[in-house]
Amino acid sequence: MIELGSPWALWALISVPLICLLYWMRPRRQVVTVSSLELWRAAVRERSRSFGLNLFASDPSLLFVLAAAVLLSLALGDPRWSSVRQAGRDRVLIVDTSASMQARAGSGGSQTRMERARVLALGVIDGLGPLDRALVMTSGRQARLRSGFERDPVRLKRIVAGLRASDEPGRPGRALALALSVLPDPAGGEILFLTDGAFDSTPEITRVVDSGRLRPILVGRPDEENVAITAFDLRPQPGLEGHYQVFAELGGFGRSSRQVAFDLAWNGEARRRRIVRVPPGTGTGHGVSVPVVLDLSALPSRASLEEGLVTASISVTSGGADGLAGDDRAYAVVALPAPLRVIQFGEPAPFLESALHVISDTHLVRRDQFRSEAFTSGTMAPDLYVFNRVPPPPLAEFPERARVLLVDVLAAGLPVRDRGWVEHPVVTGESDAPSLSPLDLSGVAIPRARRVERADPGASAGDGALAPRIWSGTTLLAFRYASQGRRFVYLGIDPQRSSFSRLAAFPLFVEKELRWLRSGQGEEPPSWIPAGQPVALTGLGSDGTPVRISGPAGDRVRLVRAGRVYFEETGRSGFYAYRSERPPARVRHFAVTLADREESDLARRWSPEIRAGEEGRRAAPLPGSYPLWPILLVVALVLLGIEAVIRRRQLGV
């Protein structure tokens, strides 16, 4: 089977009609008058029967010139003959649709890497033999099958033409592993991976490379300048109501230093701007942190809102180039909590109470001791019960959907064992929740704590779920427990006696646990989710409720709730709005953001057995293929030589 390495070179075939045109415009013909054309026409007709065309019969040298032009055009197309294509072959065509594919194919180029990959993919489909089959797959955060194994090139081309780069970070290992698993032919199949190679190799990728069935087709330049928002989060400012701390990290990729304007907008209104210098190399190392406090206390509309939409964006004001626009913006949704009603049993807890006041508009009622009437009184149930070193009732006695904070005290029914006390425990582990992970709690001084351990490590107790939050060895210093609609947070670090309450991590911890306690189910809703990650939609009413979701580009999706609603089409960054179609319908939002350091690094870091600096199919010759252009060139030269001899004889030289 013959395939073309550079199909664009076939444009040279346009020389064929040009040669014909020049032939007809040739002014050197000698005019000769004859008595009759009949015999001459008969002679030309006789030769045309041999050559096939009158044009060539009257001038066979033209035939040789045209044949030479066609052969030279084909030679420019770099045709290759592959000896292994005798039977039909299966190919999995993976197109990288991660965010980095939105970058331009080269500096100043008008084509994005994705557009270039699409062109090459169409070329691959053109090169399929009649018995070959191909399957199209995209690789973003998730691997997505876009077709089954197809023989119809028209359908395959339609699918490829509709592919677009997303804002998702790339996880090509998943797509490659899936491709290897779907290839039905254990020997003859091939995986074609059109990618920019802007990712680090993983064992999963290496395994596919080692299988020998992967043919990478690389697009884009090996290195590319970029500046990006590589991390983003925000939280309420402890001690300042209406203020939010915004944490952003900017990274510079390449060799240029840049000055960028960092802008923050709240519900579309520009609120803050900072000019930041981003040195080169900060993308792959430590980024440039941009802490900003967003003051929303004076916003009159804030009180009526339940959510706030925060947009961070950067724009280069001077310095190097910015190769990718998709990572210059980050989005977050801030939930604005309603006033928090708290009943606290036990002694006053100044640190805890101040943290609660800082975090939220808290209405706190203090009781010295717990009495069971507290659960049955006719007053409205509080949002939170706090037991500050006061024995609580057993779990089963708590009202449904009760939210409980246990400070240095345990309730009967929790799946833990109280094994006495431990002196000066050192924090050795903490949850990987985004708000805790940047903080080092190992320095927290705890004079004494309960030795609380899981009752049955490795298994959930009863129908509930226990999630450790802070621990010291096997001792749980803080954990969450949810059972039958009730939620409990245990804090074994006494804020009054430890240094925990004097650290910034303390109000942060309280705020996060409070959000979890007040939220409906599961983990607390994040302020944003990474592009391409499915999101569970909450607050949509009962099953059978139609749900309408609109994306940042105005695209709309309608789902019908059946159990939990998961929405997967989060490939585009921005704000998504969703609401139930049954009243009372409240519009809720979630944010999708790229903010991925690895994806913003546009430099090619993966190029197995690829000759550097080369692009496309030329970089990956076909297995068992042989170049045919030297043969075509020789034949073309021979034809031109014959033509020269014929011309000499015609002209009687």
By rule CB under 8 A, what count of residues binds other proteins?
29
3-state class (DSSP) for residue 240: coil
Distance CA 461, CA 128 (A): 57
What's the closest the beta carbon of residue 56 comes to other proteins, in angstroms?
10
Say whether residue 650 binds other proteins (CB under 8 A): yes
Type of residue numbered 436: L
What's the closest the beta carbon of residue 25 comes to other proteins, in angstroms?
12
What's the closest the beta carbon of residue 28 comes to other proteins, in angstroms?
6
Tokens 């903490």 sit on residue: 430
What's the closest the beta carbon of residue 640 comes to other proteins, in angstroms?
17
| Candidate list 16, 44, 182, 335; residue touching other proteins; CB under 8 A | 44
- With vertex at residue 200, the alpha carbon angle to CA 133 and CA 137, rounded to the nearest 5 degrees, is 20
| Candidate list 29, 130, 187, 458; residue touching other proteins; CB under 8 A | 29
Distance CA 535, CA 623 (A): 43
Tokens 């489909």 sit on residue: 125
| Candidate list 46, 200, 210, 418; residue touching other proteins; CB under 8 A | 46
Distance CA 360, CA 449 (A): 28
CB within 8 Å of 98: residues ≥ 6 apart: 139, 140, 141, 165, 166, 168, 169, 170, 172, 198, 199, 599
Say whether residue 303 binds other proteins (CB under 8 A): no
What's the closest the beta carbon of residue 636 comes to other proteins, in angstroms?
21
Q: Which stretch binds other proteins (CB under 8 A): 40-48, 370-378, 426-434, 572-580?
A: 40-48
* C-alpha distances out from residue 586 to 304, 353, 566, 569, 579, Å: 13, 32, 18, 21, 6
Distance CA 198, CA 191 (A): 18
Say whether residue 644 binds other proteins (CB under 8 A): no
Q: Which stretch binds other proteins (CB under 8 A): 32-40, 228-236, 413-421, 458-466?
A: 32-40
| Candidate list 26, 273, 401, 618; residue touching other proteins; CB under 8 A | 26
Which is closer to other proteins, CB of 36 or CB of 377?
Answer: 36
What's the closest the beta carbon of residue 29 comes to other proteins, in angstroms?
4
| Candidate list 58, 460, 496, 519; residue touching other proteins; CB under 8 A | 58
Beta strands in 65-173 (DSSP E): 79-82, 90-96, 133-139, 143-145
Phi, psi of 616 (to 5 degrees): 70, -155
Say whether residue 25 binds other proteins (CB under 8 A): no
| Candidate list 7, 9, 61, 332; residue touching other proteins; CB under 8 A | 61
Which is closer to other proteins, CB of 33 or CB of 377?
Answer: 33
What's the closest the beta carbon of residue 3 comes to other proteins, in angstroms?
38
What's the closest the beta carbon of residue 40 comes to other proteins, in angstroms?
6
Cite the DSSP H helix spans in 77-139: 113-126
Q: Count Cα atoms within 13 angstroms, Cβ side, for 584.
A: 1
Say whether residue 35 binds other proteins (CB under 8 A): yes
* C-alpha distances out from residue 155 to 114, 151, 160, 189, 622, Å: 19, 9, 9, 20, 24
| Candidate list 39, 131, 293, 637; residue touching other proteins; CB under 8 A | 39
Tokens 């309408």 sit on residue: 548
| Candidate list 8, 40, 421, 566; residue touching other proteins; CB under 8 A | 40
Taking a C-beta distance cutoff of 8 angstroms, is the pair 180, 585 a contact?
Answer: no
What's the closest the beta carbon of residue 73 comes to other proteins, in angstroms?
24
| Candidate list 25, 298, 459, 651; residue touching other proteins; CB under 8 A | 651
Cα 200 to the chain's mean position, in Å? 15
What's the closest the beta carbon of residue 45 comes to other proteins, in angstroms?
8
Question: What residues numbered 114-173 form the site for other proteins, per CB under 8 A?
Answer: none
Query: Six-digit token pair at 202?
Result: 């993983």
| Candidate list 14, 18, 21, 42; residue touching other proteins; CB under 8 A | 42
x-or-dash string of contact with other proteins, 592-631, rule CB under 8 A: ----------------------------------------
Say whether residue 28 binds other proteins (CB under 8 A): yes
Taking a C-beta distance cutoff of 8 angstroms, is the pair 326, 167 a contact?
Answer: yes
Which is closer to other proteins, CB of 60 or CB of 616?
Answer: 60
What's the closest the beta carbon of residue 60 comes to other proteins, in angstroms?
7
The packing angle between helices 15-24 and 60-76, to 10°, is 160
What's the closest the beta carbon of residue 68 comes to other proteins, in angstroms?
17
Which is closer to other proteins, CB of 35 or CB of 110?
Answer: 35
Query: Six-digit token pair at 172?
Result: 């090509």
Strands in 79-82's sheet, in edge-to-edge order, are 2-4, 79-82, 625-627
CB within 8 Å of 396: residues ≥ 6 apart: 413
Q: Which stretch binds other proteins (CB under 8 A): 22-30, 82-90, 380-388, 393-401?
A: 22-30
Question: What residues numbered 516-575 form the site for other proteins, per CB under 8 A?
Answer: none
Which is closer to other proteins, CB of 27 or CB of 186?
Answer: 27
Which is closer to other proteins, CB of 38 or CB of 432?
Answer: 38
Phi, psi of 286 (to 5 degrees): -80, 130
What's the closest the beta carbon of residue 635 comes to other proteins, in angstroms?
22
- SS3 sequence, 462-475? CCCEEEEEEEECCE
| Candidate list 47, 207, 367, 548; residue touching other proteins; CB under 8 A | 47
Q: Count Cα atoms within 13 angstroms, Cβ side, for 290.
A: 26
What's the closest the beta carbon of residue 49 comes to other proteins, in angstroms?
10
What's the closest the beta carbon of residue 646 comes to other proteins, in angstroms?
7
Distance CA 395, CA 535 (A): 31
Say whether residue 41 binds other proteins (CB under 8 A): yes
Which is closer to other proteins, CB of 68 or CB of 591?
Answer: 68
Contact residues: other proteins, CB under 8 A: 26, 28-44, 46-47, 58-61, 646, 649-652
